[in-house]
Structure 1
Amino acid sequence: MKKRSLILQLFIMLFIILQCLIAFLAYSTYKYAESVILKEVIQLNTNMLQQIAIRINQELKDVEVLASRIAYDTSIIESLKKGSGGESANKEQLLKIEGIMSGYIWSYRSTAMLIDAHLIDKRGNTYSTSYSMSSNQEADLAAFDKALENGQGIEIFPIKSYFTSTGGYNYYFQVARKVEDYISKQDYGVLLLNVNEKLLGDNYIRLTNEEKDFFIVDQDGLIISHQDKDKITEKLNSFVEANSKNKLNNYYLQDDKLFISQPISGCGWYLVESVSLASALLPLKKIELFLIAFGILCTLLTGVVLCVVARKIAEPLSLLRNKMTEFNDGNLSIQIQDSTYKEFSEISISFNELIQRVNFLLKENINNERQKRLLELDFLRAQINPHFIYNTLSSIRFYVEMGKNKEAEEMLYHFSKLLRRVLSRGDEFVLLRDEVKHLEDYVVLQKMRYANAFLVEFLLAENTLNAQIPSFILQPIIENAIFYGLQVNRLIVIKVEAELADDDLYIKISDNGIGMSQEKITEIFNKEVQMSRVGILNVHERIRILYGGAYGLTIEQNEPEGTKVILKLHYA
């Protein structure tokens, strides 16, 4: 498992702590600046809304004054007195009253086109300055009278609309005033001023843009005036929600927007401004860029400083590690130069002494291992050869006892060829073709012992015949296949196959005998089993000693029956 560097880990932790501190300071600064800028934006926009609200309030008062001037006009009162006998108004009276009302309206030249006057007397006669806005006076007269009974003599009624000839809607609100004699307080009717919503919108329309939006709403959040006329008579839900939760404290935030409200005195309306937070906090972008640049600079500086310090500490340790790696790779002559630092100087001296001691012990161990390996190989070879000699001599003895001297002579001939090779201190490795010749002599001997009991087939790829393999590794496998695979009245076929795969040689010896259970296969690789199976185990260990742990012998169950032994050798 790859281990982590302690120095690197410590300095990374220190770097992270410093970055967290820098990030915390930057975040705190950012949030403080955000709150300060937000307060400034709220204050500036509140001041602006106050000015707009004052202007709207003044215009509403002007409308109320206009209503009062018309309602108290003596000429209008006199005309209504003359017609109070129950008679319908004649054309002359109608034109007179409408002319007086028009004169008052046109005295306000800036708003004259935005106001219509409608007077409804007690007889139900209606006097109008314009027919562009219908107020349905007759139907609403009782409602207006009732609303004016307990008031101050003048009321502002909710927004209404009418369908224009151009296919759209115009919106207006109504100002109602009793028409009465100033002295006698005699009631002669109701005056309605229909005021176009544009009168309100003109006060803020020039300030509306993509980032700013304005609404005039009543206490219930109903939109009375807005640039988008389709929104009029709808509800400003955010205002309603903030008002219902008692959070309407001059401003509130919703959907990345800042809403600032200002009451319009005297009418129960509110002027609400919607400002995009992105635009409101635009100055914060400069602070944000500064904080980002400052944070990056601090990160780079701390990173450079920590890297320099870490390198100063890590260099001697890295040198020691590299030297140890070289030693682990087999370089036994390495030495570490003495360090200028006291701590590392002591380590280098100890390391150099350790290397010298290891060199001495390693040389001594190599000599011991060489002798041990030679003895072990001889032991393995000695275990294989006596096992074979014992079985062969037993067979010859049986032939002699049975009087089959010719067969015994033939067995002695083949046995002498094998014995000459076995007893010689020949090469440890032989060609595969030579090992096969040795097996052929061995097979002849075994066939003479077990006539018509088995058949051995050699199916060897041509490119494998010159492969170098350890001597005497195939004979124990063939012997095991014969002894443990034989069945009564059945021919056992033993196949010897060889093939190359990459840089490895695979030799497969399979038979169709009685087979072997998994328990027996496991038992064969146990060193404590009976001596009759030591030969196979020794072949396996011998291959591993010569080639390494990746090579050796495996035993499988052959299909459809029998046993398969696979030897994996390094090809050379």
Structure 2
Amino acid sequence: MWNRVRDLLVPSSSFRFKVMFISIICLVIPATFTLFIYNYLTKDTIKEQAHSNANRELSIANEYVERLLEDMMYITNFIQVDAEMNTILKRKIKSTESQTSQQKYEQFLDDSKIIKTLENITLVGGKSYVTILLENGISYTNYSNYELNPKDIYSEDWFKQLNKTKGYETVWISSQPTMFKSEKPINPYQISVARTLRDESLNIYGYVIVTIMENKINQIFENMNGKEEMILLDSSNQIISHTNDDRVGEKFKYSDQLTENSSNIFEISRKDYLIAEQKISFTDWKLVSLIPYKQATNKINTIFNKVVAFQVVFFTIFLFLMTYFLRSITKPIVRLGNVADLVQKGNLNIRSHIQGKDEIGRLSSSFDQMLNTINKMIQDITATQERKRKAELDMLQAQINPHFLFNVLNSIRMKVMVKGDKESANMISSLSKLLRMTIAKDKEIITFQEEVQIVLDFINIMNMRQKEKVDVEITIQEAANLIMIPRFILQPIIENSIIHGLNQSAGKIIVNAEMTENEVIIIIEDNGGGMDEQTLSQLKRKLIHSHTLDNNTSKNNKGFSSIGISNVYERMFMTFGKEFKMDINSELEKGTQVIMSIPKGGRRPNVQSNAS
């Protein structure tokens, strides 16, 4: 699966293309992940910044709106607490229709003072309409009765709330249709604040109403530099002021989902808007701003887009530089590849001749050296093959000598038999067999049965050499005859028994071989002179360490008896490994016993017979 994906991503093409492709992938993937992570990590920060900006703009607008409403409150407070104004108004409550000329004159002066005071009361940035209504029906305004008959205010629904207020509470009246004739054509809505006038006993003796046109707040919204949509809401979330007069009086449903002085993102007409809300002090009104979320994050997104653009520019520059440098770096590799193609076609005399101390230079130098070595090896192999051919011819010629010797011995045996000397003929036959087995190089591993025959031929020759004969008793379990062992394993032990154990005198040698469940046990024992404990211990130590010692001396000696028991142990150990065991038991004047244990599975897998 991975190989298929790799082949799709990195097609089988030049090394230069693969390096460039992988480099671009290794650059694009981290850059893409970096932008993704940057966008993910800054998403909340951008959102917080947008909320902060919206609240800051809203705070500025809120400050202007509160200042305008505070000025309206100031007028009501002034009329409520001004001593001279209160004295005059209370006196007007107590006035009667029957007055003296002096009283009428004083009343005229009082009325003039009140009217002048009301006319001097103005709001920052525009006109306000002030109305004072007394319980006895007297009213004072800073406007003419043509604009509005003050008594019409008594019929307004909100006027009933004034009598329900306690103490010096105020009633804020949200946008109502304009009552003033001159304002109606240009300002369809008005906003008012009203409060009661009370004496020392908190009894109501009058009312004061301050009214401004809704467009005064609308102008504040329009003068804001931002592109936010500002809305002033009352306690029931109805729109009091909006840049679009048609929206006044509508219910703004999203305010219910906001907590006081908070902001959040809402989907309106499949478009995300950031809505912020702040409470107006000393009222239950609140100011709300709406701005498209994309517009709120426009500056930050512009920065992000610039970062992406810079990365694209830098990536393009890097791509050109990388292409240039990669062409320079991979040029020796391309040349080496071309040389390798020519070598593949059979041109072994070409060389890359690329110099350098870097990896490519060392590789090219090694490649050239390898070609030199290959040429030399070809020359050496050619010479070796020539020598081998000559050696094979010599070997064929040398094979004539052993065969000639065997033929001569066989002829002698036949002549001896003709003369009736069977003993000598048997001796010659045993010698011929033993000599043939010694010279044969193609039978390093033989069966146990063949090894027993070697022992019989050897004992036959030895009995003819010495005056006193040695009796041999051989008992072999039938299954043990087929096990494979190195040749000349029993013969050296028998030779040691005859020469060292029996001192070439008469005696008896017993050979037993039997197969158990896991191994083959071979026992060779004689009734000779035996060994003392010290000699036996030295011999055992020699056997233990024999396979780690160099045995060149045994390889250079001639004859059968020189192979030695140590050589037997070493060869068996090399053939069967650690599973082969050999032990020697001996007592003076009682004889010697050699016990060998061979694993039933046979020789180790890495040991091969030349005959195979």
TM-score when normalising by structure 1: 0.46
| Higher Rg of the two aligned structures | 2
TM-score when normalising by structure 2: 0.43
Higher relative contact order (CA 8 A, sep 6+): 1
